């Protein structure tokens, strides 16, 4: 009698940053709750924009990850995140996901911002009148506009496409109330079809890694005030601003060391900057335990966004930052969701984006306050995670959103397998 749900999303485990941990975590949680869940996903490639080792483009596409049957469909992986190349990847993934064996799911969950792939899958679902939920992590057209990736006419056209797609879905799950407002006001999605399900943290509050040993491993001295940025290195992160802040720190004698951890299409440019910029370094992606340890080993945790971003996303790194119990510095717009999250959690301070001097001043202010008060300031992050961003609350809200679409009774079916 278990409801059968098919989740279709380009990103999934073993990717451990961005959207993938939430898709994988929700699939596992639904499966553990008795739902019959299957996943169709792509080849793991994010944030390095190359296929992970051990995942050839050919071979058996079936896996079982944490009890969840997973089907991987092949698709091109561009060497960078250029819009045309990314569009090509999305379309190929969408076509192959739509033509893969589905069985007879009671509902399909499509994960965006893979907009075109999701729209193609939506067409397949419509042929069998299967209800579809769009799980919106980023607003596609807001991203095009705010990052300057497309001009006005293209953005207007894409907004019409995105709005039509979202209105055609049976429901939408968004990760922040700001997104819900945007879908109602700009996309014409009915309020009763929108459910807010907050992303949760997926790192341990008490990592097993020795943080002092990590500082020694990476050459961070006791006098270094480490300002750590993690995750994707792309256009919206504007990380050349962080390199410029490192130059300001060097010039003024501030004891700051700016460190980036992760991958992305701007990583080669940033690595080149690191060779000529003291107090600025770029580290590769790390495993989950090391990542949790690095957050605790740093002195200040950084969110840096391109000026002008007010609608497009809520950085997933914030939930991990809050759990790490370290002060957070956010170089973001005051009107954006990142600033709202930081204020709600009382976990740090905001400075102007695109201003390296402000970044240095903010980092020093946070560190000085932390030392002066014995770490008593900006400690609300962990409380906020437990009260607002818990995995249990997210699963309950998500189950409620999907359950609204299901028939009152479901026909008994055999449990899904990787070959179903």
Does residue 265 contact residue 291 with C-beta atoms inside 8 Å? no
Instruction: Enumerate residues 6+ apart whose C-beta is below 8 A from 178.
Output: 311, 314, 337, 340
Tokens of 11: 């990103």
Spatial strand order of the sheet with 256-261 comes to 280-283, 256-261, 225-230, 300-304, 328-331, 348-351
Does residue 170 contact residue 133 with C-beta atoms inside 8 Å? yes
Burial code (b: 16+ CB inside 10 Å, e: under 16) for 159-185 equals beebbebbeebbbbbbbbebbbebbee
Q: What would the 3-class secondary structure string for 95-152 be?
A: HHHHHCCCCCCCEEEEEECCHHHHHHHHHHHHHCCCCEEEEECECHHHHHHHHCCCCH
Tokens of 24: 């994988």
The verdict on domain 4-200+390-403 having CATH code 3.30.365.10 is no
What is the model's pLDDT at position 416? 46
Dihedral class, residue 266 (left if φ above 0, else alpha if ψ from -120 to 50, else beta): alpha
The verdict on domain 211-383 having CATH code 3.40.50.720 is no
Coil, helix or strand for 304? strand
Task: Give the predicted TM-score (pTM) of the model.
Answer: 0.78
What is the model's pLDDT at position 151? 53
Q: Tell me, yes or no, if the two domains 4-200+390-403 and 211-383 fold the same way.
A: yes
What is the model's pLDDT at position 22? 92
Please give the distance of CA 3 from its chain centroid, rounded to a whole number: 27
Please give the distance of CA 352 from its chain centroid, rounded to a whole number: 23
Pairing of strands 68-72, 62-65: antiparallel
Q: What is the number of alpha carbons within 13 Å of residue 63 lying toward its C-beta?
A: 19
Instruction: Enumerate residues 6+ apart whose C-beta is below 8 A from 50.
Output: 77, 79
What is the dihedral angle through the alpha carbons of 74, 78, 83, 86, rounded to the nearest 10 degrees? Answer: 10
What is the model's pLDDT at position 161? 87
Query: Which residues in the chain show pLDDT less than 70?
Result: 1, 57-58, 80-82, 142-152, 154, 204-207, 311-313, 407-420
Domain regions of the chain by residue span: 4-200+390-403, 211-383
Does residue 349 contact residue 366 with C-beta atoms inside 8 Å? yes
Geometric angle at alpha carbon 251, from 373 and 270, rounded to 5°:
90
Largest CA distance in the chain: 70
């Amino acid at each position: 009698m278990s409801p059968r749900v098919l989740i279709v999303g380009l990103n999934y485990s073993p990717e451990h940053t961005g959207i993938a941990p939430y898709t994988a975590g929700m699939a596992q949680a639904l499966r553990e709750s008795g739902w019959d869940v299957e996943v169709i996903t792509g080849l793991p490639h994010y944030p390095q924009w190359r296929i992970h080792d051990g995942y050839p483009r050919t071979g058996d596409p079936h896996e079982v990850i944490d009890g969840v049957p997973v089907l991987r469909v092949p698709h091109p992986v561009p060497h960078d995140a250029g819009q045309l190349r990314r569009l090509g990847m999305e379309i190929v993934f969408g076509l192959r996901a739509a033509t893969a064996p589905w069985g007879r799911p009671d509902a399909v969950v499509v994960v965006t911002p893979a907009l075109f792939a999701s729209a193609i899958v939506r067409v397949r679902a419509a042929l069998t009148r299967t209800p579809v939920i769009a799980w919106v992590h980023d607003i596609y057209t807001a991203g095009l506009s705010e990052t300057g990736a497309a001009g006005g006419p293209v953005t207007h056209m894409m907004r019409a496409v995105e709005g039509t797609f979202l209105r055609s879905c049976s429901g939408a799950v968004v990760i922040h109330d700001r997104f819900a407002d945007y879908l109602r006001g700009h996309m014409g999605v009915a309020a009763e079809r929108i459910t807010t399900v907050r992303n949760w943290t997926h790192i341990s509050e008490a990592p097993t890694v020795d943080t002092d040993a990590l500082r020694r491993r990476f050459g961070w001295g006791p006098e270094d005030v480490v300002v750590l940025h993690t995750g994707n290195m792309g256009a919206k992160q504007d990380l050349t601003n962080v390199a410029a802040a490192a130059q300001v720190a060097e010039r003024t004698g501030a004891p700051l060391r700016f460190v980036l951890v992760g991958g992305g299409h701007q990583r080669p440019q940033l690595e080149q900057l690191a060779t000529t910029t003291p107090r600025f370094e770029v580290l590769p992606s790390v495993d989950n335990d090391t990542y949790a340890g690095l957050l605790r080993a740093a002195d200040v945790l950084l969110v840096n966004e391109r000026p002008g971003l007010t609608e497009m996303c809520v950085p997933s790194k914030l939930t991990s930052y809050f759990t790490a119990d370290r002060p957070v510095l956010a170089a973001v717009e005051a009107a954006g969701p990142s600033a709202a999250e930081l204020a709600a959690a009382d976990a740090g301070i905001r400075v102007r984006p695109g201003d390296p001097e402000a970044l240095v001043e903010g980092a020093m202010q946070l560190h000085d306050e932390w030392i002066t008060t014995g770490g008593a300031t900006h400690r609300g992050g962990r409380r906020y995670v437990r009260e607002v961003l818990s995995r249990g609350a997210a699963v309950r809200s998500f189950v409620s959103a999907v359950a609204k679409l299901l028939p009152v009774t479901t026909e008994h079916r055999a449990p899904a397998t990787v070959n179903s």
